[in-house]
Amino acid sequence: MLKMLIMGPAGAGKGTMSELIASNFKVAHISSGDMFREEIKHQTHLGLQAKSYITQGLLVPDEVTIQMVGNRLKKDDCQNGYLLDGFPRSLAQAEAIEDFNINAVINLQIDEHLLVDRIVFRRICQQCGTIYNIKLNPIENAEICPKCCGKLYQRNDDTYEKLMVRLESYREETKPVIDYYRQKGIVYDVDAGQTIDDVYKQIESILKNVAEEETK
């Protein structure tokens, strides 16, 4: 069974790659960021706790995050494997899921200077969730989803200033998590500066090998 993590700084393509991996390898896609945004949308207690951290580009405290993801991992759709996207982002979070025996960590590597345009021009469809970049892959109308005609929006943490804060917390708190898994020998580095197709091809061949090993 594939129990995977996808890691990388904001804008490396975690969301886009996760959608492709989850549909092709038939695993549950668990994005802690998406879960928080849903909670905020529904104005739950958890959402209110997380909101001020997220809008500042800071990490939500471990206690809150670990509980939310821990509960999610108990759901039935995780029985056939899962891909955690954006979690763990700190050593305490990694230690909290130690018993889950993660078998692969996809580490998206990218030059930081490429991230600014990827984040600042990122737009998301309110209706179908498709992610666009109105500068790097322009679409006819930058406000309307070409797939479903839904309205496109920009995340309020997708600004240059918030990106700088997010990159700082990535360097300080999340990079040590990659080293933690590297010591276990399960990190697979991927060059994420290429096209979506080319990045996915690298990931697909890695995961096919991991899946094969798992069935032995």
Measure the CA dihedral 82/83/88/91, to 10°: 70
Catalytic residue among 3, 72, 89, 162: 89
Contact status: 170 vs ligand AMP (CB under 6 A):
no
Catalytic residue among 118, 123, 162, 166: 166
Q: Catalytic site residue 171?
A: no
Q: Catalytic site residue 122?
A: yes
Separation CA 135–CA 158 (nearest Å)? 14
Catalytic residue among 37, 72, 122, 162: 122
Query: Toward ligand AMP, which CB reaches closer, 32 or 107?
Result: 32
Query: Toward ligand AMP, which CB reaches closer, 81 or 86?
Result: 86
Quick check: 151 and 129 in contact, CB under 8 A?
A: no
Q: State the minimum distance, in angstroms, from the CB of residue 147 to ligand AMP.
A: 21
- The dihedral through the CA atoms of 197, 35, 62, 98 has a sign that is negative
- Computed on alpha carbons and rounded to an integer, the radius of gyration of the chain in Å comes to 17
Separation CA 46–CA 203 (nearest Å)? 33
Q: Catalytic site residue 155?
A: yes
Neighbouring C-alpha atoms within 13 Å toward the C-beta of 28: 18
Q: Catalytic site residue 166?
A: yes
Query: Toward ligand AMP, which CB reaches closer, 49 or 103?
Result: 49
Footprint of ligand AMP on 176-205 (CB under 6 A)? none
Question: Which x/- pattern, by CB under 6 A, does the window 8-47 give for ligand AMP?
Answer: --x---------------------xx--x-----------
Neighbouring C-alpha atoms within 13 Å toward the C-beta of 182: 9
Separation CA 36–CA 58 (nearest Å)? 13
Residue 92's Cβ-count burial label (10 Å; 0-12, 13-18, 19+) is middle
Q: State the minimum distance, in angstroms, from the CB of residue 116 to ligand AMP.
A: 15
Q: Catalytic site residue 201?
A: no
Footprint of ligand AMP on 49-108 (CB under 6 A)? 53-54, 57-60, 65, 86-89, 93
Q: Which stretches within 74-174 are classed as H helix?
A: 91-96, 115-120, 160-169
Q: State the minimum distance, in angstroms, from the CB of residue 109 to ligand AMP.
A: 17
Residues that bind ligand AMP in the complex, under the rule CB under 6 A: 10, 32-33, 36, 53-54, 57-60, 65, 86-89, 93, 157, 166
Point out the residues that are catalytic. Answer: 14, 89, 122, 155, 166
